Structure 1
Amino acid sequence: MEVVASAPGKVLITGGYLILERPNAGIVLSTNARFYAMVKPLLEEVQPESWAWAWTDVKVTSPQLSRETTYKLSLKNSTLQCISSRDSTNPFVEQAVQYAVAASKVIFVDKEKKDALNKLLLLGLDITILGSNDFYSYRNQIEARGLPLTPDALASLPPFSSIMFNSEASNGTISGERCKPEVAKTGLGSSAAMTTSVVAALLHYLGVVNLPFSAKSLPEGNTNNSDLDLVHVIAQSAHCIAQGKIGSGFDVSAAVYGSQRYVRFSPAVLSSAQVIGGKCLQEVVTDILQEKWDHQKFHFSLPPLMTLLLGEPGTGGSSTPSMVGSVKQWQKSDPQKSLETWKKLAYANSVLEAQLKSLNKLAEDHWDTYRHTLAVCSGCGHERWMEQVTDQHQESIVKSLLGARDAFLEIRFHMRQMGKAAGVPIEPESQTQLLDATMNMEGVLLAGVPGAGGYDAVFAVILGEANNAVIKSWSSVGVLPLLVREDPKGVSLENGDPRAKEVSSAISSIQIN
């Protein structure tokens, strides 16, 4: 039996920094970039003498890094012990395995289920992880091949391409020793998507949850789904422990549930996991499962006929933890000014959210008018949108479009002010020039820096068919337009190894003219 689960990457379009503190909300969009985890047994049958064993074998393979790591898994404590080179380990995968196995042992209380679980574990765990190309930067490879910085060049790469080793090293070695890979990322939350896919695949494989083959968007309201909620709690816990801090968790939540309006959980729910020593992992997981997880996730997705476009500026990455630390330091040093800025940001975020919700409702109630209005507005600049209005419903749609645009300009202004006050480049000058030029193009609704900002990426929300002009414009100034688009669905099972598909899931639905 083989189980394959996948989880999406994310783009945080509002709520940068504010989302770290309750009750501030953020809008996070899940994408068609997905991480895949494949789980199957290492052995065909349980060895007769294996019931006396205290350990079982685990193998983790990452083909894109040409890495294979082997472990012994304690059947008593659910902990891993690496028996191959520590250079090839991945803390996110390790914690995902440990927490998923521990959760399985906690949940299966009757003897029959425990025996079945141990029998399955004694077959060993063979885990393979793969990430869509979209999670990684292939800019250097494209430039080295003399290709233009276009989506066509990205689409020409084989699905799940290998990730290059450090360029300073010869054949991936330094002084005869294998060196760690230099992985340039695009900021889509690869560690959260990877952790979630491994947790989901293991929990399903071990019979703890029953996940759907076709992921669905979140329904309206802050609804519960016991299987997804368990995947979320275990993935969130494993991810926080692996990264060594309790973050806001919006990336894991998006990986589990898909696009949403998110309010973070109280950090106290993971207080048990932070205590070093004294408790075994299964006791920690028991405590975590008994906690009241108070995060909120409400259905949200972009209105119809709008396209999310991401670009990689290639101007060097930014350290999110460092930037967050600087902003927190500024909050402490100037609490009054920082509180004023946060209130203004929170208000502008809520206005943008309300306008996008209004557009979704208008599309639902007046589809033909909505479709016509967006088609017309996609062909002209924002200053002419109101000129196109011919009836009341069109006027409502254009007012919401302009209201969303104004709110986002307000968000960008306050984010820049916060960056200047904290001494960090939340929206660097080079990005400001690019984003202003993009927002002034025909058919562009929004353009900004996602998440914590910096130099990593830019995004645009584009009306109708206007994305080709933005793609050409970005390419001409050295910004690589990515193949990523919004896909509001969360974690799901897959039908087999994604490498067997003729076309990568990341590019199957995208055509660049």
Structure 2
Amino acid sequence: MTTAVVAALLHYLGVVDLSPLSKFEGSADLDVVHIIAQTAHCIAQGKVGSGFDVSSAVYGSHRYVRFSPDVLSSAQDAAKGTPLQEVMAAILKGKWDHERTKFSLPPLMNLLLGEPGTGGSSTPSMVGAVKRWQKSDPAKAQETWRKLSEANSKLEIQFNILSKLAEENCNAYKCVIDKCSKQKSEKWIEQSIEPSQEAVVKALLGARSAMVEIRNLMHQMGEAAGVPIEPESQTRLLDATMDMEGVLLAGVPGAGGFDAVFAVTLGDSGNNVAKAWSSLNVLALLVREDPHGVSLETADPRTEEITATVSAVHIE
């Protein structure tokens, strides 16, 4: 929401040009949107967060390494009465050292985001608890963070392998995804009848294993810090989700807690996941993984959808 509002205002005022013809990867206009959206988000939250949500909203799917928090230190001055023009001038001139690398889900995979009807969590208080744990037990905290970083890298590697396999042997890849989308994970290995298909299944199971490791480490971190990063209710939901046909992985996004859950599904299996979530009072949101990021719509997409639906009606 922050990114959409900032981008709309900047485009309307002529500060940036977000029209399809002007947009390209690495655009300076997108960088301006990113910096101002991060600043607005920081001022609204009263703290410097990770910024990954704003970055993905601006640039689309990518591998993200956050910026140094100091670059937004002057944003706190806005709350102390410093003119916003001065604050923004300093921030725009700052050294933004964040990193983003091209990354997206492999073909024929879908991202689902669900909102449980159990209320949300206070991210600032949860982050504060984790930071206190880091200070009280630095050795254990550092070891956990290292293992979590390694597990995240394992997941990224498996996704990249799957994307490469899809490019090198599209037919074998499609065949495996189609078969696995109709089976639980323990039967996936049975779906490969040749080496090229076996490689796809191996990468799928590798990604799944990495996600299980990530969840375990986040659960351990939550217990050590005394906060529910993956609450028991979410654990039961995620375990049930990962046990469904065609589900590659599932977890809690961001800082965790009760806010949301996500799943990555194969082929058309996401429809069954959405139905299962609905029966458990979990709303599958109308969002999807998008490699493009912020963009200027030529028309209200809701209007286009309604128009298309009406046009499809035949009256005899």
Does TM-score exceed 0.5, indicating one fold? Answer: yes
CA distance in 1, matches of 2:62, 2:140: 30
Once the two structures are TM-superposed, the CA of residue 504 in structure 1 deviates from its matched residue by: 9.8
1:246 corresponds to 2:53 = no
The answer for the alignment partner of 1:435 in structure 2 is 238
Once the two structures are TM-superposed, the CA of residue 414 in structure 1 deviates from its matched residue by: 0.6
Larger radius of gyration: 1
CA distance in 1, matches of 2:105, 2:242: 17
The answer for the alignment partner of 2:72 in structure 1 is 270
> CA contact under 8 A between 2:43 and 2:75: conserved in structure 1?
yes
The answer for the alignment partner of 2:148 in structure 1 is 345
Which of 364, 379, 382 aligns to 2:182? It is 379
1:212 corresponds to 2:11 = no
> CA contact under 8 A between 2:181 and 2:267: conserved in structure 1?
yes
CA distance in 2, matches of 1:374, 1:496: 35
The answer for the alignment partner of 1:511 in structure 2 is none
Is the alpha carbon distance of 1:202 and 1:313 closer, same or farther for their aligned partners in structure 2, counting shifts above 3 Å? closer
Is the alpha carbon distance of 1:316 and 1:196 closer, same or farther for their aligned partners in structure 2, counting shifts above 3 Å? closer
Structure 2, unpaired ranges of 5+: 310-316
> CA contact under 8 A between 1:266 and 1:295: conserved in structure 2?
yes
The answer for the alignment partner of 1:415 in structure 2 is 218
Which of 364, 373, 395 aligns to 2:198? It is 395
| Deviation digits for residues 38-91 of structure 1 (CA, Å, limit 9, x no counterpart) | xxxxxxxxxxxxxxxxxxxxxxxxxxxxxxxxxxxxxxxxxxxxxxxxxxxxxx
Once the two structures are TM-superposed, the CA of residue 202 in structure 1 deviates from its matched residue by: 2.5
The answer for the alignment partner of 1:320 in structure 2 is 123
Is the alpha carbon distance of 1:278 and 1:416 closer, same or farther for their aligned partners in structure 2, counting shifts above 3 Å? closer
Moved more, 309-318 or 417-426: 309-318
| Deviation digits for residues 3-35 of structure 1 (CA, Å, limit 9, x no counterpart) | xxxxxxxxxxxxxxxxxxxxxxxxxxxxxxxxx
- Give aligned-pair identity as a percent: 67
| Deviation digits for residues 141-200 of structure 1 (CA, Å, limit 9, x no counterpart) | xxxxxxxxxxxxxxxxxxxxxxxxxxxxxxxxxxxxxxxxxxxxxxxxxxxxx3222322
Q: List aligned pairs for 1:50-129, cutoff 5 A.
A: none
Whichever residue aligns with residue 15 of structure 2, its letter is V
Whichever residue aligns with residue 254 of structure 2, its letter is G
> CA contact under 8 A between 1:351 and 1:404: conserved in structure 2?
yes
CA distance in 1, matches of 2:141, 2:288: 34
> CA contact under 8 A between 1:215 and 1:491: conserved in structure 2?
no
Is the alpha carbon distance of 1:451 and 1:278 closer, same or farther for their aligned partners in structure 2, counting shifts above 3 Å? closer
| Deviation digits for residues 335-374 of structure 1 (CA, Å, limit 9, x no counterpart) | 1111111111110000001101111111111111110110
Q: List aligned pairs for 1:276-355, cutoff 5 A.
A: 280-355=83-158
TM norm structure 1: 0.57
> CA contact under 8 A between 1:214 and 1:493: conserved in structure 2?
no
Structure 1, unpaired ranges of 5+: 1-193, 508-513
**3-state secondary structure, aligned to 2:306:** coil
**3-state secondary structure, aligned to 1:308:** strand
CA distance in 1, matches of 2:22, 2:163: 21
1:470 corresponds to 2:273 = yes
Q: List aligned pairs for 1:179-198, cutoff 5 A.
A: 194-198=1-5
> CA contact under 8 A between 1:498 and 1:504: conserved in structure 2?
no
Paired residues, number:
308
Once the two structures are TM-superposed, the CA of residue 328 in structure 1 deviates from its matched residue by: 0.9
Once the two structures are TM-superposed, the CA of residue 450 in structure 1 deviates from its matched residue by: 1.2
Once the two structures are TM-superposed, the CA of residue 329 in structure 1 deviates from its matched residue by: 0.9
CA distance in 2, matches of 1:308, 1:504: 27
CA distance in 2, matches of 1:196, 1:472: 30
**3-state secondary structure, aligned to 1:307:** strand
Once the two structures are TM-superposed, the CA of residue 327 in structure 1 deviates from its matched residue by: 0.8
> CA contact under 8 A between 1:215 and 1:490: conserved in structure 2?
no
CA distance in 1, matches of 2:227, 2:133: 10
The answer for the alignment partner of 1:175 in structure 2 is none
The answer for the alignment partner of 1:201 in structure 2 is 8
Which of 33, 47, 62 aligns to 1:231? It is 33
CA distance in 2, matches of 1:294, 1:332: 25
The answer to which structure has the higher strand fraction is 1
| Deviation digits for residues 217-276 of structure 1 (CA, Å, limit 9, x no counterpart) | x85xxxx32111111112211221222111111111112111111111111112333336
Is the alpha carbon distance of 1:215 and 1:325 closer, same or farther for their aligned partners in structure 2, counting shifts above 3 Å? farther
CA distance in 1, matches of 2:22, 2:190: 41
| Deviation digits for residues 190-214 of structure 1 (CA, Å, limit 9, x no counterpart) | xxxx322232222222222221237
